[in-house]
């Protein structure tokens, strides 16, 4: 792991949080969405698991609800663009793919 990645972790600590999420590749033919679950979250990154392979360097769009333990009094719907920085095939057994992604941009989604 590079020093930059270690420095980033110190600036934005990750919090253990298991929340359902949707991941959609944003490059090429993006007609599919992956369902997964976060492992940990921070302002700058997310680690999650999915049932399909993902490539390092891929641009993805993620949507999930940030739990109140991280953002304050109430859960917050988030949509963000991120870049995959690490992939762990067969994460935690069971054929899941562990994906670490750096969040490049995010926005809150207002409930309707």
Q: What is the mean pLDDT of the chain?
A: 83
**Distances in whole angstroms, Cα of residue 84 to Cα of each of 55, 69, 71:** 7, 25, 23
The structural domains of the chain, ordered by start, are: 3-108 (2.40.10.220)
pLDDT tens-digit readout, 9-52: 446 688 898 999 999 988 876 667 899 999 998 888 999 999 88
pLDDT tens-digit readout, 46-68: 999 998 888 999 999 999 988 88
pLDDT of residue 108: 87
In the numeric block, which tokens belong to residue 57?
A: 């360097």
CA–CA dist 61, 9 (Å, integer) = 21
**Distances in whole angstroms, Cα of residue 54 to Cα of each of 50, 58, 73, 75, 107:** 9, 7, 34, 28, 23
pLDDT band at 104 (very low <50, low <70, confident <90, very high): very high
CA–CA dist 31, 15 (Å, integer) = 31
Q: Checking DSSP bridges between strand 20-25 and strand 59-66, what pairing results, if any?
A: antiparallel
Higher pLDDT pick, 71 / 86: 86
């Amino acid at each position: 792991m590079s020093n930059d990645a270690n420095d980033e972790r110190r600036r934005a600590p990750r919090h253990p949080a298991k929340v359902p999420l949707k991941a959609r590749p944003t490059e090429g033919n993006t007609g599919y969405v992956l369902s997964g679950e976060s492992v940990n979250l921070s302002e700058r990154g997310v680690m999650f698991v999915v049932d399909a392979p993902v490539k390092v360097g891929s641009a993805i769009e993620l949507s999930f609800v940030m739990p109140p333990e991280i953002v304050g009094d109430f859960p917050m719907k988030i949509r963000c663009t991120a870049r995959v920085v690490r992939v762990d095939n067969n994460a935690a057994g069971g054929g899941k793919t562990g994906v670490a992604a750096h969040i490049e941009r995010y926005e809150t989604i207002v409930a309707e």
